[in-house]
Each structure stands twice: as structure tokens, then as C-alpha cells.
């Protein structure tokens, strides 16, 4: 087991100790570059934390990038034609944007006290390598036969990490690739043996997470079990409650829309009138008509009556006029 202290900063140098691994990443950036520069012991860009996993891999964070940015590998077409082996290069990336296992590194010793680095995502066929060009760029190389000069590194302790945030690892469910649903879930663990370490250990070698139950089937170390279990349980319960509330709201909206549509249709039907022109008596040689509401005809159904006959006008007796 490598004797790296999670509570200390380290300076990472090639075997000749003429360079130091540096990053320009900070929390406002989506991606940060990683390269070698001249040593500067006072620069937080050259301070690295090696956070050990229970399966033997490490997560690397820098003082410049902060506790939420990690050293990963990415396909970078910017270096197409310059970087060999598929242009896979190391970069710094925020935890929320990582969707694979490239944040985990294996640090394995050579016999002379130096180390080589493998990436969990790329596998053991690739080693991290400093390119021979003067720019200090890095890449993942498949030329791993023998002792390659650019693939040997030294980790020199620099001092204690004062920022308490580096004792916590924050990861998201998208990182765990829980399928078929990517849950909105944040897991905060304050113990060296972390939740995602145990999940990673559980998934090796096929990296499959078939159910949420299998993803959280673990037992943390003494002292963190109660706190972590309560946190995970509370988050899962809260997620379930939120999903139920969303479903209820959708159902209410659907029912309300149906009721509103039916009421509107009924109101439209009641408000429809049909006009019937019924012939009346002729006045001055013209036939008069009257408009009748069809609805009112229903009230008169079955009622028939003969209209009184109209007595033709007659001339009064002149004797009755005074």
C-alpha cells in the first residue's frame, strides 16, 4: 500500500525533478489544463491531494481547482496530430460534469521509489506520460514497454491541508450512471472510506449498477455509518416525496383540464338557439313572422288550442251614434 497521506499536499514531479505538475483550473472553469512547469513551492497550482479509495485507486484534486474539481482523462481534438494514442489527455473537470470513471487513478511503484500512473477508465494498457516537447504537456500513452522516461513520477509531501472542504468528497448520481433513471442525488461523505469508494469496489470489474439497492448496498467504517446512512436515507425519501408530488400535480392538471373542457362544451350546447319562423296572420297583405326559441317549444309540447275565429269587420248602425 502506498503511504500517501490524504491530509497533506503533494508536489508531483518527473523523475528528474526539474518540473512540477500544475493546473490552471479553478471553480469558475468548466475544464482546466494540466501540464508541467518550473517548481514553485508557494503556488497552489502545484499542490495536489491524493484521496485514496478502498479499491486502491486515488482521486486527485489541486489547491487551485478546489475540492469539487478532479483530475480526469478526456478526448481532446485540440491536440490532434500532436498527441498520439487517440489524443487522450489529462484535464481538470468539475464533479457534476464527469460521466465516466476517469477520475480514478492507480499509482503503482517502480522499484526505485518512483511511480507510474494508470487511469481507471482507460485501463492498464495506458500510462500517464509527460511529452518530450518543451511545453510540458501530458497524454495517456500506450507505449508502456519497459521504463519510459516520461512515465515515472515522484510525489513529494509539502504540508498539511488546512481547508476542511478537502476532507469531504461530493459526487452526483450521474457519475454513478444509475440507469435507466439518472437520479438527482448528492452524496456527502466525510470519512476516508467513502460511499462512492465502496460502490466502485462493489462494481469492479464490470462497473454495472443495475438497481439503486445494489448501488447503496455497503457498510461504511465505524463512526460514519449512522451519519452517512441518515443522509442517504433522507435524500432518498426526499426524492421519492418530490416524485410523488410531481405525479399528483400532473394528475390534478389532467383532471382539471377534462372537467373544464366538459363544462365548456355543456355551456356551449345550452347556449345554442335555433330560430323557427312561424307564419302569422297577414297584415296589409304581408305575412308576419315570429321568432320562437326551440327550447321553449318543449314546454308547449302536447298543448294544442284552436285560435278564435276573427269576426270580419262590420259597419255599425248609424242610429247608435250620437
What is the pLDDT, as a whole number, of residue 10? 96
Q: Is residue 28 part of a domain?
A: yes
Q: Are 94 and 47 found together in one domain?
A: yes
Q: Is residue 299 part of a domain?
A: no
What is the pLDDT, as a whole number, of residue 59? 92
What value does the mean pLDDT of the chain take? 70
Q: Is residue 173 part of a domain?
A: yes
Determine the length of the chain.
Answer: 322
Q: Which residues contact 6 (CB under 8 A, 6 or more apart)?
A: 49, 50, 51, 52, 167, 192
What is the pLDDT, as a whole number, of residue 99? 82
CB atoms under 10 Å from CB of 234, counted, come to 10
Residues 176, 203 contacting (CB under 8 angstroms): no
Q: Is the pLDDT of residue 51 over 80?
A: yes
Q: Is the pLDDT of residue 80 over 60?
A: no
Does the pTM exceed 0.95? Answer: no
If you average pLDDT over residues 229-252, what whole number do you get? 82
| Percentage of the chain modeled with pLDDT above 90 | 22
Burial (CB count <10 Å: 0-12, 13-18, 19+), residue 56: middle
Q: Is residue 296 part of a domain?
A: no
**Residue 171: closest CA among 187, 189, 152, 151:** 187
What is the pLDDT, as a whole number, of residue 33? 86
Rounded Cα–Cα distance for residues 322 and 320 (Å): 6
**Residue 103: closest CA among 137, 62, 71, 135:** 71
What is the pLDDT, as a whole number, of residue 315? 60
What is the pLDDT, as a whole number, of residue 214? 32
* C-alpha cell, 88: 487522450
Rounded Cα–Cα distance for residues 3 and 1 (Å): 6
Q: Which helix (H) or strand (E) holds 239?
A: helix 225-270
Q: Are 130 and 221 found together in one domain?
A: no
| Percentage of the chain modeled with pLDDT above 70 | 57
Residues 214, 206 contacting (CB under 8 angstroms): no
If you average pLDDT over residues 234-256, what whole number do you get? 89
Q: Is residue 20 part of a domain?
A: yes
Rounded Cα–Cα distance for residues 101 and 227 (Å): 26
Q: What is the pLDDT of residues 112-169, one digit of tens each?
A: 889 999 999 888 889 999 887 767 888 888 888 877 888 999 999 999 999 988 987 7
CATH code for the domain in which residue 128 is found:
2.80.10.50
Residues 9, 48 contacting (CB under 8 angstroms): yes
Q: Are 247 and 172 found together in one domain?
A: yes
Burial (CB count <10 Å: 0-12, 13-18, 19+), residue 273: exposed
Residues 10, 50 contacting (CB under 8 angstroms): yes
Q: Is the pLDDT of residue 276 over 60?
A: no
The total of structural domains in the chain comes to 2
What is the pLDDT, as a whole number, of residue 207? 32
What is the pLDDT, as a whole number, of residue 203? 35
> Within 13 Å and on the Cβ side, how many CA atoms surround 152?
14
Residue range(s) defining the domain that contains residue 259: 168-265
What is the pLDDT, as a whole number, of residue 266? 83
Least confident of 67-81, 115-129, 159-173, 226-240: 226-240
Distances (CA, A) of 140 to 10, 143, 287: 21, 9, 102
Residues 237, 245 contacting (CB under 8 angstroms): no
Q: Is the pLDDT of residue 253 over 50?
A: yes
Q: Which residue, 130, 163, 196, sits at the end of a domain?
A: 163
Q: Is residue 292 part of a domain?
A: no
Considering 68-82, 227-241, 287-301, the range whose residues carry the highest mean pLDDT is: 68-82
Amino acid at each position: 500500500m502506498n503511504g500517501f497521506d490524504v491530509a497533506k499536499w503533494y508536489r508531483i514531479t518527473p523523475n528528474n525533478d526539474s518540473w512540477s505538475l500544475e493546473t490552471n483550473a479553478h471553480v469558475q472553469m468548466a475544464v482546466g489544463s494540466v501540464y508541467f512547469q518550473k517548481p514553485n513551492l508557494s503556488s497552489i497550482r502545484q499542490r495536489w491531494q491524493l484521496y485514496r479509495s478502498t479499491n486502491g485507486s486515488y482521486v486527485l484534486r489541486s489547491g487551485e481547482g478546489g475540492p469539487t474539481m478532479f483530475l480526469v482523462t478526456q478526448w481532446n481534438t485540440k491536440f490532434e496530430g500532436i498527441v498520439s494514442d487517440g489524443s487522450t489527455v489529462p484535464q481538470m473537470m468539475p464533479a457534476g460534469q464527469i460521466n465516466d470513471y476517469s477520475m480514478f487513478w492507480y499509482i503503482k511503484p517502480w522499484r526505485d521509489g518512483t511511480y507510474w500512473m494508470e487511469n481507471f477508465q482507460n485501463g492498464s494498457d495506458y500510462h500517464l506520460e509527460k511529452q518530450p516537447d518543451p511545453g510540458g504537456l501530458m497524454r495517456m500513452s500506450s507505449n508502456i514497454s519497459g521504463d519510459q522516461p516520461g512515465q515515472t513520477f515522484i510525489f513529494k509531501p509539502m504540508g498539511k491541508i488546512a481547508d476542511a472542504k478537502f476532507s469531504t468528497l461530493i459526487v452526483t448520481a450521474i457519475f454513478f450512471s444509475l440507469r435507466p433513471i439518472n437520479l438527482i442525488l448528492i452524496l456527502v461523505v466525510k470519512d476516508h472510506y467513502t460511499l462512492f469508494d465502496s460502490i466502485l469496489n462493489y462494481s469492479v470489474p464490470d462497473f454495472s449498477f443495475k438497481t439503486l439497492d445494489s448501488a447503496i448496498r455497503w457498510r461504511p467504517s465505524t463512526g460514519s455509518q449512522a451519519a452517512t446512512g441518515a443522509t442517504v436515507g433522507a435524500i432518498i425519501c426526499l426524492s421519492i416525496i418530490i416524485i410523488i408530488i410531481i405525479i399528483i400535480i400532473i394528475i390534478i392538471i389532467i383532471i382539471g383540464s377534462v372537467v373544464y373542457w366538459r363544462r365548456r362544451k355543456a355551456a356551449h350546447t345550452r347556449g345554442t338557439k335555433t330560430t323557427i319562423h312561424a307564419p302569422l296572420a297577414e297584415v296589409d297583405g304581408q305575412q308576419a313572422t315570429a321568432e320562437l326559441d326551440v327550447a321553449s317549444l318543449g314546454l308547449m309540447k302536447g298543448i294544442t288550442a284552436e285560435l278564435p275565429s276573427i269576426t270580419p269587420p262590420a259597419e255599425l248602425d248609424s242610429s247608435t251614434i250620437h
